[in-house]
Structure formats: structure tokens, C-alpha cells
Amino acid sequence: MELLTTRLEQDLKKLREISRALTPEEITSSRVQQLIANLVQFAQNYSSPDGHYKCAGLSAVQVGFPLRIYVVRDRKTEVFTPYINPGLTPLGDATNSHVESCLSIPNVSGIVERYTRVRLSYLDPTGQRQMLKEVVGFTARVLQHEQDHLDGILFTDRMSKPK
Ligand SMILES: [Zn+2]
């Protein structure tokens, strides 16, 4: 499994693709189950070349599979949870601004404004509909970052311009 980065023109093109949703049959297929396991493992084992950053979230498109799947680390347990065909809804208008970076965009970080509270509806790896009723703070930010990947949006598109 290889990470796509914006350094390469052909990778950038793939990172800009809109990922497609999975059918229930696909989700339970051994091919997709293996992909999910590989995503979790890749994310779990990742550390940046300088050793400073661990992975907080990873979308399938970042390793070359334009499918609506991402994995996000739980801050307490450190375990990565897979979210399939996720739908994200902001709760309220409150936003906050914080520094972000991305495995696929080496050596870049910047301030991005995100919703403070979100709700996530998704399918788990067995194909069951699940809901995170209210997610706040850092994890809410990671979910919004990964959700953007599914639509070909990179955090640098949302980065506030230096004043
Ligand atoms: Zn990213």
C-alpha cells in the first residue's frame, strides 16, 4: 500500500478524484474487508519521516482507492475506526481555527476553520448503519478533513491566507 502525495502530478490527479460509495455487497466482500484492514494497519504504523507526526486519519483515496472509506483514530483508545459511506452534518454554526497537516501534502501545515461540532452517519464494516451523534474538537476536525478527501478537497484549499 503506497501513500499518494501532492509531490507527483499523477498522484495529485488521483487525490482530486471524487471517491464513490460502496454497495452493501462490496462492503462485505473479502477485497474491501482486506482494504479496510490494510488502511487501519497503514494508519496505525505510520509516522512522518521526521518522526514528529502520527496519523490521525486516512482515506482510501490517499492510498489509491477512490472509495468512500476512511479510518480515524480514537484519541483515548488510539484505535482506528473505519467509516464507510460517511455522511457528515455540522451541528450549529460554531467554528474554530486550528493548524492542520496531511500525510499526502508533505511539509505543509496551515490554519483551517472547521465546524466545532458534527454528527456522522456511516456504515460499519458489517454494513450496518451507525451514528456518531455528536463529535467535538479534534476528532470533529479530523472527520471533516477526511470527509473532504472523499470529495477531492485538500486542506490547503481551505487554508486561511497569511495576513
Ligand atoms: Zn489528509
CA pair distance 44, 59, nearest whole angstrom: 13
For the chain, domain boundaries: 9-158
Residue 19 has pLDDT above 60, yes or no: yes
For 25, the enclosing helix (H) or strand (E) is: helix 24-27
CA pair distance 92, 72, nearest whole angstrom: 22
Q: What angle do CA 78, 71, 79 make, to 5 degrees?
A: 15
Query: Mean pLDDT, to the nearest integer, of 22-48?
Result: 95
Question: What does pTM read for this prediction?
Answer: 0.95
Q: What is the residue whose three cell numbers read 467554528?
A: 95
Residue 162 has pLDDT above 70, yes or no: no
Q: Using CB atoms within 10 A of its CB, is residue 77 exposed (0-12), middle (13-18) or buried (19+)?
A: exposed
DSSP 157: H
Task: Collect residues with CB below 5 Å from ion ligand 1.
Answer: 102
In angstroms, the first-to-last Cα distance of the chain is: 39
CA pair distance 40, 71, nearest whole angstrom: 6
Distance 111 CA to ligand 1 centre (A): 14
Does residue 134 have an active-site annotation?
no
> 9-158 — its CATH code?
3.90.45.10
pLDDT tens sequence across 45-87: 998 777 777 899 999 999 999 999 999 999 889 999 999 999 9
Distance 102 CA to ligand 1 centre (A): 4
Predicted local distance difference test score (pLDDT) of residue 159: 94
